[in-house]
């Protein structure tokens, strides 16, 4: 069983690739893992031991064990968000003539950090927009008041210096990304009209 995040459950093992009893680990796959090129290791089952004894090839298993630790899967492609550290950098970014998504966040905010990771993955799939982030504690508060940010994380989309969309991201990351897809498409059509 896998979660919707990029983590899979695997049993405890040592550096030799064996489980706590000393048995070697076999590769177990699910349909999702095959589609995304990820895998998790788990102890061989009794059936696998019988197949190994019979010299039959091992077939991938679809179920993962219950007693396990969480191991991160290899990261997917990401695009680093541009950090804007001053009011001048912010003005230059939003007046660049392209669709600009600005994430107003704080380094101490868990939701902000989680959303930033989701945005980096989304930015890799969205080359038409420029993605930036601002640490609200590191820039002058006059800028934060000027753009009207009152809670974090807040996403704003700009087209040629004009704010066309704002989203206060209090929901889960996937819901925010779904809303952002439509907002960026709308901003792109506005950018083509101007």
Q: pLDDT (tens digit, 9 = 90+) per residue, 44-63?
A: 556 555 555 555 444 444 44
Task: Report the SS3 class of residue 164.
Answer: strand
Which of residues 23, 44, 72 is at a domain's end? 72
| 109 is a catalytic site residue | yes
Same domain, 175 and 90: yes
Does residue 77 belong to any structural domain of this protein?
A: no
Marked catalytic residue, from 81, 102, 112, 183: 112
Same domain, 37 and 64: yes
Which of residues 72, 96, 120 is at a domain's end? 72
The predicted-structure confidence for 118-147, as pLDDT tens digits, reads as follows: 999 999 888 889 999 999 999 999 999 999
CA 34 to chain CA centroid, nearest Å: 20
| 112 is a catalytic site residue | yes
Kindly report the backbone phi and psi dihedral angles of residue 163, in degrees, each rounded to the nearest multiple of 5, phi listed first.
-75, 125
Q: From its phi and psi, is residue 17 left (phi > 0), alpha (psi between -120 and 50) or beta?
A: left
For residue 124, the enclosing domain spans: 82-193
Marked catalytic residue, from 41, 109, 168, 190: 109
The predicted-structure confidence for 14-49, as pLDDT tens digits, reads as follows: 455 565 566 665 555 555 555 555 444 444 556 555
pLDDT, residue 61, reads: 42
Same domain, 94 and 187: yes
């Amino acid at each position: 069983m896998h979660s919707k995040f990029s983590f899979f459950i695997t049993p405890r093992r040592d550096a030799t690739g064996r489980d706590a009893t000393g048995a070697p680990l076999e590769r177990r796959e699910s349909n999702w893992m095959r589609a995304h090129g990820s895998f998790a290791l788990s102890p061989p089952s009794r059936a696998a031991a019988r197949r190994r004894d019979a010299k039959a090839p091992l077939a991938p298993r679809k179920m993962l064990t219950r007693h396990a630790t969480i191991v991160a899967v290899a990261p997917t492609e990401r695009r680093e968000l541009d950090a804007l550290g001053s009011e001048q950098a912010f003005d230059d970014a939003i007046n660049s003539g392209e669709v600009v998504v600005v994430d107003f966040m704080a380094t101490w905010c868990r939701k902000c950090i989680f959303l930033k990771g989701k945005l980096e993955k989304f930015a890799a799939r969205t080359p038409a927009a420029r993605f930036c982030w601002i640490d609200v504690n590191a820039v002058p508060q006059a800028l934060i008041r000027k753009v009207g940010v009152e809670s974090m994380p807040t996403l704003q989309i700009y087209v040629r210096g004009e704010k066309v969309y704002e989203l206060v991201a209090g929901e889960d990351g996937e819901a925010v990304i779904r809303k952002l897809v439509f907002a960026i498409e709308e901003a792109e059509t506005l950018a083509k009209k101007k």
